[in-house]
Structures are given as C-alpha cells and as structure tokens.
Structure 1
Amino acid sequence: MVEGRSRTRRQVGIVGAGPAGMLLGHLLRQHGIDVVILERRDRAYVEGRVRAGVLERGTVDLLARLGLDRRLRREGLVHSGTVLSVDGDAFRIDFAALTGGATVTVYGQQEVMKDLFDAAETRGLDVVFGAEDLRIEDVETDTPRLRYRRGGVDHVVDCDVVAGCDGFHGVSRAAIPAGVLETFERVYAFGWLGILADVPPADGELIYCSHARGFALASMRSATRSRYYLQCSAGERVEDWPDERFWDELCLRLGPEVASRVTRGPSFEKTVAPLRSFVGEPMRHGRLFLAGDAAHIVPPTGAKGMNLAVSDVTMLGEALVDFFEEGATAGIDGYSARALARVWKAERFSWWFTGLMHRFPDTDPFARRMQVAELAYIRGSRAAQTTLAENYVGLPM
C-alpha cells in the first residue's frame, strides 16, 4: 500500500453523493463554482438504493433546468391524481383540477441517480467515491476543511463552504455542537414491508389504502414494474412474508374491486423500512450547511423525502451562487430559516397523512371511526381535497 498525503482547495466541498449532494453539485457546477463531492460508498451502492419514486413538480422543474430530464420526460409516468381507499371503497383526488394543472411524475430515485452520475462524468463534476474516515473541521471559520482517506492516501480539502448531504447517519449533522443543534423526532411503531415485482400495476395511479387491518399502497416504477407496500410491525422479518402471503394480504386490504386487477408474480426485492419523523435545526452552523436527510426525515406516506431534499438544494444553491458571484451573504444567512419553514410544512403533511391512513397500536374502535369519518369528509369536500392536492404536488419554495 502506498502511503501519502494530498491537499487541494475547492470553493465548495459536498459530503454525500445522494440526490441532495449530486443535485447541488450540478447546480453549482452550472454556475462555474468549483465543487468536489465526497462519498463513502461506491457508485453501484448509491445508485442501487431503492427509495422514492414520486417527483413533485418542483423536482421535475429543477431537473429540466439542469438539462437532466431527457430520460425522465421519455420514461416517467405523469400522474394528475391519486386514489384513496377506505376498507376497499375508493375515490379519486384530481390534482390537476384542484391545483391549476399541477401533476407529479413517477420516476424512481435509482433512475434519477443514474442520470445524475452519467451527467457528472460528461460535465466534469468531480465525484470521489470510497472516501473513508471522513471528518469535517473548522466549520466556525471562513476556511472549513474536509479530511478523508482513500487508496492509502490521506486527503485534505480546504473549502469556503461545506454542504452536508450525507443522510441521517452521516457525519455532517454530528459536526454541529450539541449545544447548538436541537432535534425533534417521532419514531412510529410500525414499518412498511415493500416488494418490487415485474408485473403491470393494478391501476394507472397510486392507491393509498386505509384498512382496518392496516395501511397498503399500490404503486409502480413503470408500466411493467409494480411497487407494493403493506404496513407491518417495526420488527417484522421479510423471511416471514413469502410472496403468497404478501399478495393475499395486499389484496385483502385493497378490496375486491382493486384486487381483481392485481397481477401476481415473483418479487425480486423485499424490504422492511422503519418510519420516523425527524428534524434537526438549525440547518446551518458557520460555514457548514445541511441539506436533505442529514437535516430531516419524513415518513414515506406523503412522498416528500427526495422532494424535500430538492427543495433544500434549490434554496442553498441560490444562496451559494449569490455568495460566490456577488459576495452577498443574505441568502446563506437566511438559508436555515427559509428551508426549515418548508421542511416543517412537509413534516406536518407527512405526519397527518400517516396518522390518517395507518393503524396505530392505540387505534381503538373510536379512533378507527374518526379515521373513516375524516376520509369521508375529504371525499365530499373540494376544499379538503384541495389541501391534500396542494401538499402532495408540492408547496411553493
């Protein structure tokens, strides 16, 4: 092994090559800002993670602005509404009619990452994979520093700004002192058991199902690939859910009308994902700025995870461009408050929608009747449907 040291200087050092880090890198690179993105894992791992699949209008717009939407426009599935089901009785929420034409697009996060990585290679965006033992130093000065080890070489990157985009378990949030950082968290007593199967979806739009036995979601990744979820206990093991048991329970919760359109087939991926709500604030400390899951987590019910990261990146990118091009500090000084204002609204929607659609350990007959009554109210109220639609397609940034 060759031992050595390397020292470089960049305007912005980005920690994490997930959606937040890569999108921020592309946005800053578009403005000629010198960026390096450091990622602990390899490209195959980051690109292979199965995550979000519903893109808000703002996310689609940003990808278009960056010239990264060619495949999205060709392969993405545009949805103008969604379906809510109560014990098998379904009704539709028409996003487009309720929000002046706004839609969402189904396009998996894996595909977004592939587009981001492919474009990085052609555009000369510097992404370093396999950056181990990464540390963030001196964030309270004007020259924060990143240290990491790769290939037997110790590297130091001197920066003007560090952007922490390395997810919930990354090192970035931990670089904010405990006396400065305040956290807010709700851990749910259940998870989502999800499968992917190469079978056509049961419907042209997503179906969110509230059932006495628990939540279910009928989703998709393409016209030939389906993504289905069941609410399960937090400690559930995928080994206890053979395909036949999963399909039987899914069809029961979806109800006979939708179940008749479910095409069964072997799953090629099966996972259990825990659910939590989390916010860490502030999202800026000195020259360190947090974005995406490094600062907040939402339960997946509201389809806000990656979209919220995009919102952060859009605001942070604008602020950093002003800082480097004009020397203006108003944007970076106001970033945390501006981002958190939208974060908390997304947290509220995801928390509300999760509470409405899931069965909690303390959901007694009275609480279940309240869920059913609220869904009945939404079904009959254009105002209630508009509130849901506005939040789902994405609030203004």
Structure 2
Amino acid sequence: MDLINSFLNWVVPPASMVMLACAWPALCFINACEWLYDSYYSENMEEKVVIITGASSGIGEQIAYEYAKRKANIVLVARREHRLRGISENARRIGARHVMIIAADVVKEDDCRRFINETVNYYGRVDHLVNTVSLGHTFYFEEVTDSSVFPHLLDINFWGNIYPTFVALPHLYQTNGRIIINASVENWLPLPRMSLYAAAKSALVNFYDTLRFEIKDEVGITIATHGWIGSEMTGGKFMLEEGADMQWKEEREVNVSGGPVEEFARLIVSGACRGDAYVKFPSWHDIFLLYRVFAPNVLSWTFRLLISPHGARRTSLIGTGRPFAEVSGRPLLEGTSPRRLLTGPVAVSQQLKME
C-alpha cells in the first residue's frame, strides 16, 4: 500500500494539472452558459420575504438595499435598533414592499426563534435568510493574556450564523428558500493577526458545504467569500456584528483599501437569485488555492516577503489590556490612538461589549 501511495503521489498531481489545463476552455464555456441561463431565469424576489442578520451597517445594510431594489419584503435584524430605523426608511424609499426591524442577538437561540417566529407570523413565510454577522480582530495570538475573548469571537462568527439557520430551516424547506452566508477569503488563505477569525470562518464554510449535501436541492446555499473590502472593518474599527463598533478604533499599522461594499452586496444578491453556490469578490484570489495545494512553500515564502513585520509588535487592546473605559482613567474617544494612552504593562482583562 505504501508503494502504491508513493506512486500516486508522484503521478496524480501532475496528471490532474494536465487534465485541468486541457479541460479549462470547455469548463469556462459551460460555466458561461450556465451563468447566462441562470441570469435569464433569475429568482423574482418581488413580495418574497428576506431576513438579514447583522443589518445595522456594512455588508448587511447594503444587501438590504439590493433586496429593496428587487421589491422584496425585508426583515432587518441587529442589536442596534436605532440604526435599523434609518436603514428601513432608506430601503422603503428604494423600493422594498415592507420592512420590519427586530432587535436581537444572533448568538442566543431564543432570540433567533423570536425573530424567525415574528417573521413567519407576520408574513407567513421565509424565502431567503442572509447571515452577515462577523467579528474581526487584528491581534497576534501570542499577545492574548485573557482567553475569555475566544468564545466571543467564535460565538459571533460561527454560532451567530448557525442558530438562525437552525431555526429558519424548517420554514425554508416549505418555500424551497435559500441561505446566504458572508464568509471571507481568510477561511483558507492564511494572513497574520487573524488566526481565530480565520478558524471560525473556515468552520463556517465547511459546515455549510456539508449542509448543502444533507439538504440536497430542497434549500439552496450561497457562500459569499470576500477579500479586503471598503467597510468599517477595513477602515480600522473592530466590529461585534457587521458594523457594530467596539468602543474604540484601532490605529492600523498598514493602510488598507479594498473594493466597495456596494459592489460585493450587489454580487451576493445577484448570485443568490441566480442560485449560485459560491460568490467570490474578487475572484482572482482563487489562484492562491493552486499554490496552497501544489506549492505551499511558494505561498508561504511570498506572504513572508509581502507581510514582513516592520518594527516591534504593538499590543492590541482586545483580550490583552484593560477594559476600554478604564484605560488611563478616561474613556477612549473615537480616533484616539491606544498607543498614546497605554503607559505601562497591560494586565487587567478586558470585556467585549455590544451595542
């Protein structure tokens, strides 16, 4: 058996690459035909019911506007009810048939049951469930001195998607509906300062890829994967749900820029209505998958060159410092640099608070 495996290790990878290269033009043609067919017969969302979690800003907000253009009935779910009111008015002006706002915490199963039941009781159905909640971080794992931050990260990025899906799935079966997931390229592309975030997103993608086989074609699943995009997160804010700020902005070491959130939201909704299994923005990130499988060392060397550290590491407050409001005995104002306020060793555990 060892001899057979050794032989296959040498033969299968290059043979597969040759076959893929030969079949690439035909695959591109087939994919183009499928795209045209699915676009022509795209799902009509008029009067259908869409639940969007994490809708208080960022990707969730823009997705709400895209569904509004398609004249859907929209249910906006987030913790910040005051933010949802303004977004609901915007969605109505754009074209939404009806907008309902519900303040809820998606990491609590009871809250998820409440907003799903309220939706079904009012509209009688659920057609699309869009999960956009996300919590990012920019600390090195070795910097963390308080591990209580770990469950918060995994709760939001994983369970904050699973619980709404678990509760809504029976209703989605009845309408042959669709689940849309906001993932990230970090689920397979390793980047520094994102270890826990990447792990949670990887678990999320694997869960929904597996669920897709379990539920077959009775409920569709669209996994949207993005790189850096121009949202509050890339602008330097931590988020507890898509757009729900932590209590301070981080002064980033690297200026980050990316594509517009509006474009990503448009691609997500268009792909979901076409029935796409995956939506990727930008799609050129996929080339790194080949390197990861066939030349992982090249990928590793490239990232080490491109993302080489300059100067000493700076401790991030999340999970490593004092509670936000206690730093230097005064609250941190938006835009204040934590590096100017920390004057000694960080030892007291901090708390994550949601709006």
Is this a same-fold pair by TM over 0.5?
A: no
> Which structure is higher in RCO with an 8 Å CA cutoff and minimum separation 6?
1
> What TM-score results when the alignment is normalised by the length of structure 2?
0.35
TM-score, structure 1 length as denominator? 0.32
Decide which structure has greater strand share.
1
